[in-house]
Structure 1
Amino acid sequence: MKRVGVLTSGGDAPGMNAAIRAVTRKCIYHNLEVYGIKNGYQGLIDGSIEKLEIGSVGDIIQRGGTKLFSARCEEFKTDEGQQKGIDQLNKFGIEGLIVIGGDGSFRGAQMLTRKGFPCIGVPATIDNDIAGTDFTIGFDTALNTIIEAIDKIRDTATSHERTYVIEVMGRDAGDLALWSGLAGGAESILIPEEQDDLEDVVVRLRRGQERGKKHSIIILAEGVGSGIEFGKRIKEATNLETRVTVLGHIQRGGPPTASDRVLASRLGAKAVDMLLAGKAGRMVGLERNELVDHSLETVFSSKHKTNLDMYSLSKELSI
């Protein structure tokens, strides 16, 4: 193998640039040429491809977002779109592709591999919802963004003696809500994997009132429902002054944490090693702090498991 391509796809995640940097410099270290594909699979179809040098990825390890940009591409879901992508890869002499992204991005990589073009996936999504890895690139940064917001909201919740519902991202996974809720000392955490009903939350709020507690923080994963609607229900059920904060896309931005930079560097470099070893249709991950790899078929057929022991602990600590 002499030429490797790299692209980012799907939602951006802090640490994607660190992964691009690792892929680029690892390739150059092994005397491989590396080509960056802009705008994900759409850019692949359009031939938006350029050679990357060492300097191309200088001073990006600390930047959020993705230097290569990202875009959705419905055309790539078709056989014709995939063939256009392969034609562009062949045109540039690229022999292997590293895809940095989440579940949807990996499905594109799987389709290319099935057509005979070797691809390796690098998991990058703030949702931490990919099977086969304990953590995905971007999760830790988003988590710290949420915790910072919780700390600030608690200040005003305390000052005004209010109940706050904070809606966080995560799609259908509850990791962001669970980890941030536990770290932020939330009184209630609602996640898709273990949904509490309204009465459970109300009981905890009233229990706090009885011992003189004047404010509460409730963390709601977006996969459970709307924070605004849940806030209305809390107010109706308790008559407590309730406010709602939907953190939204602020969770996807900002400089990556040290943890995400290290994770991205390790996963990106390992992906190059996997291509050089002749592997294809696989994803690199981190389990118990060891680098592992799994077939994409296994990743799709499995489900990321949220640590429900942490969920039980959060309830024990929020008595």
Structure 2
Amino acid sequence: MKKIGVFTSGGDSPGMNACIRAVVRSAVYNNIEVYGIKRGYNGMIKGEIIKLESSSVSNIIQKGGTILKSARSKEFLTKEGRQAAYDQLKKNGIEGLVAIGGDGTFTGANIFHEEFGIPILGAPGTIDNDLYGTDYTIGYDTAVNTALDAIDKIRDTADSHERVFFVEVMGRDSGYIAIPCAIGGGAEIVMIPETKTSISNVIDALKQGWARSKTSFIVIVAEGDEEGSAVEIAAKVQNEIPQMDARVTILGHVQRGGAPTAADRLLASRLGIACVEGLMQGRTCEMAGIVNSELVYTPFSETITKQKYISPRFTEMVKILSS
């Protein structure tokens, strides 16, 4: 393999740049030409392909976001769009790809390989940490620390005004951000998609806290909880406890930004190198990940279909530590 391409797709996550850097530097080290494909599958279709040198990725390891930009592509969902993308790769002599993204990115990559046979390896770049085949995804540690920093500040004002704060963190299908934020932030209640926490449970927990003379509370809500958003949940609880002084904070996309932590830089660097070396070994349609500190490759077909479970012990920890 003499030429490879690298692209980022889907939602951005801190550490993507560190991973791009690792792919480029590893390719150059192994005498492989490397090309950056801008704006994900959209850029692949349109031929937004640039050659990258070692100097192209200088001074980016500490930056959030992605220098290659990211976009979602409706056109790539069609056979015609994928054909156009393949034609652009052939035009530039690209023989293999490194895809940095989440399940949507890998789903597209899997289909692309099935149709055109181009080798593709993936690096898990998503703050949600919901991909099977790796203990942690690139950007997850940074997102948790960003959210936790905000929660620490919110607790100060919650305590000062004796309020209940409902704090919404990202996690449409996963509570992986909510759980460590709840434990690390000293929250009294956590609500995640994986477990059912009814409004009556929240009310009971608040009343038990007041009975123990607690005067302020933090309720962490993953955006995908079955009871609704933090705004909806707060309104439901307020309706049952009118005297409650409640506030809602939605952290939103602030969790996606910022300089990656040391853990994310190390993870991204390790996985970027693993993708290049995997392509050199003839691997394809696999995601590089770290499980129990060891490098593993998991087929895309598994990482996009198998569920990554959260241990019930973590929600139990929140209850124990808030008692």
CA contact (8 A) 1:40 1:72 kept: yes
- Residue of structure 2 in register with 1:134 after alignment: 135
Q: How far apart are 1:314 and its partner, in Å?
A: 1.3
CA contact (8 A) 1:38 1:69 kept: yes
CA contact (8 A) 1:234 1:242 kept: no
Aligned partners of 1:62, 1:185: CA distance in 2, in Å? 29
Aligned partners of 2:305, 2:12: CA distance in 1, in Å? 24
Alignment of 1:274-313 (within 5 A): 274-313=278-317
TM-score normalised by L of structure 1: 0.99
The letter for the 1-side match of 2:283 is K
Q: How far apart are 1:65 and its partner, in Å?
A: 0.2
Aligned partners of 1:292, 1:315: CA distance in 2, in Å? 34
- Residue of structure 1 in register with 2:38 after alignment: 38
Aligned partners of 2:31, 2:98: CA distance in 1, in Å? 17
Aligned partners of 2:248, 2:237: CA distance in 1, in Å? 11
- Residue of structure 1 in register with 2:232 after alignment: 229
| Unaligned stretches of 5+ residues in structure 1 | none
The letter for the 1-side match of 2:197 is D
- Residue of structure 1 in register with 2:156 after alignment: 155
CA RMSD of aligned residues (A): 0.8
- Residue of structure 2 in register with 1:180 after alignment: 181
Aligned partners of 1:257, 1:309: CA distance in 2, in Å? 26
SS in 1 for 2:259: coil
Aligned partners of 1:291, 1:109: CA distance in 2, in Å? 21
The letter for the 2-side match of 1:14 is P
- Residue of structure 2 in register with 1:8 after alignment: 8
Alignment of 1:97-246 (within 5 A): 97-115=97-115, 116-224=117-225, 225-238=228-241, 239-246=243-250
1:64 aligned onto 2:68? no
| Unaligned stretches of 5+ residues in structure 2 | none
Aligned partners of 2:54, 2:279: CA distance in 1, in Å? 20
% of aligned pairs identical? 51
Q: Select the residue among 249, 254, 271 that pairs with 1:250.
A: 254
Q: How far apart are 1:308 and its partner, in Å?
A: 2.1
CA contact (8 A) 1:128 1:170 kept: no
Q: Deviations along 1:120-154, whole A, 9 cap, x unmatched?
A: 11101001111111111000000001100110000
Aligned partners of 1:64, 1:300: CA distance in 2, in Å? 25
Q: Deviations along 1:209-256, whole A, 9 cap, x unmatched?
A: 112111000000001121111111122222310000011100100000
Once the two structures are overlaid, the 10-residue window that deviates more, 89-98 or 309-318, is 309-318
Q: Deviations along 1:14-65, whole A, 9 cap, x unmatched?
A: 0000000000000000000000000000000000000000110000000000
Q: How far apart are 1:301 and its partner, in Å?
A: 2.5
Q: Deviations along 1:140-196, whole A, 9 cap, x unmatched?
A: 000001100110000000000000000010121011011111110100000010121
Aligned partners of 1:137, 1:78: CA distance in 2, in Å? 29
The letter for the 2-side match of 1:232 is A
1:80 aligned onto 2:80? yes
